[in-house]
Structure 1
């Protein structure tokens, strides 16, 4: 389906949809409906990251969180924020809307057509302050990692994956990402 053309302001006034729509490159894109592999990886990664990051108030992973910044409104499969960067209300409660760039963006490939858009979104985030991006491909069980000022790297099996600096003592491999599928 070809993308709709709206302004960001018009897009933000439109009702939310499932699956989510995103505003990127001055167009509206509907995310594909997730299949079981996608959902399992998303749930497990969120749990794994939060088991390490939340108890020590280092980082917090969110699934399908709308992030609006630099004229775009994206809904990555997972976003991770360093704890001290999470927007909060005066009483300390997490804000309901995030208008900042995530520290780590994870996209899970749903279709070949969508992987190109996912890569462009990850690169956009990196160019605006994101520290780390992963593109997870359940088909060939690879993770392409994106970091500022580095070439993307494809990781398989026991290849270690980069994580946020605040999670330095956490070791995670490409095999760990896909373990929930077995």
Structure 2
């Protein structure tokens, strides 16, 4: 179950909350701080396998788990943020800056049982309105992937249909292949 603070606060105050980085992550939208639900095992397996598949499919992008992205008045923590390496700001020593203040190139959310689907879609749409190229809503209970892209209608993928991927990422995968990762007796 998600927890929300009832009192509205400004974004800069939210970013100073002492428990902001506690697990599960806290997000901020419309003046309200909301804690995401704690992921369950199926969610974690899908997240891990997607991270590996995406990282192994591109030298130009990296897939990062639970990265706080603060931009355009919100602070969100997608389950997976896919970001082009050349968009990651580095400091004087060549290391990445800790705070990512843009929309990811691709945001992936894996729906948890206690999560409000409209809140998750709202975050995906916020990303798309601010430069994100692709959003996925992975529903492990429905075995479906709902995709969002700028200037396009959402699409739902099930079974053996190839899921929409960023064109620069060399990965062809179906919803069935993704959800087969949940069958532990298979590779």
User: Normalising TM by the smaller chain, what interval?
Assistant: over 0.9
* C-alpha separation in 2, matches of 1:18 and 1:78: 15
| Number of residues of Structure 1 aligned to a counterpart in Structure 2 | 178
Over aligned residues, Cα RMSD in angstroms? 1.3
Structure 2: 5+ residue runs without aligned partners?
A: none
**1:14 to partner: Cα distance:** 0.6
**Aligned residue for 1:6?**
9
Note closer, same or farther for the CA distance 1:144–1:117 as it changes in structure 2 (3 Å cut). same
1:13 match: secondary structure: coil
Q: TM-score, normalised by structure 1?
A: 0.93
1:41 to 38, 46, 67: 46
* Aligned pairs (5 A) from 1:97-116: 97-111=99-113, 113-116=115-118
**Aligned residue for 1:134?**
136
* C-alpha separation in 2, matches of 1:162 and 1:113: 24
**Aligned residue for 1:21?**
26
Instruction: Render the CA deviation track for 1:87-120: whole Å, top value 9, x for unaligned.
Output: 2223322222111110000001113652110001
> Are the aligned partners of 1:108 and 1:135 in contact in 2 as well (CA < 8 Å)?
yes
Q: Which has the higher helix share?
A: 1
Q: TM-score, normalised by structure 2?
A: 0.90
Structure 1: 5+ residue runs without aligned partners?
A: none
* Misfit runs of 4+, over 6 Å: none
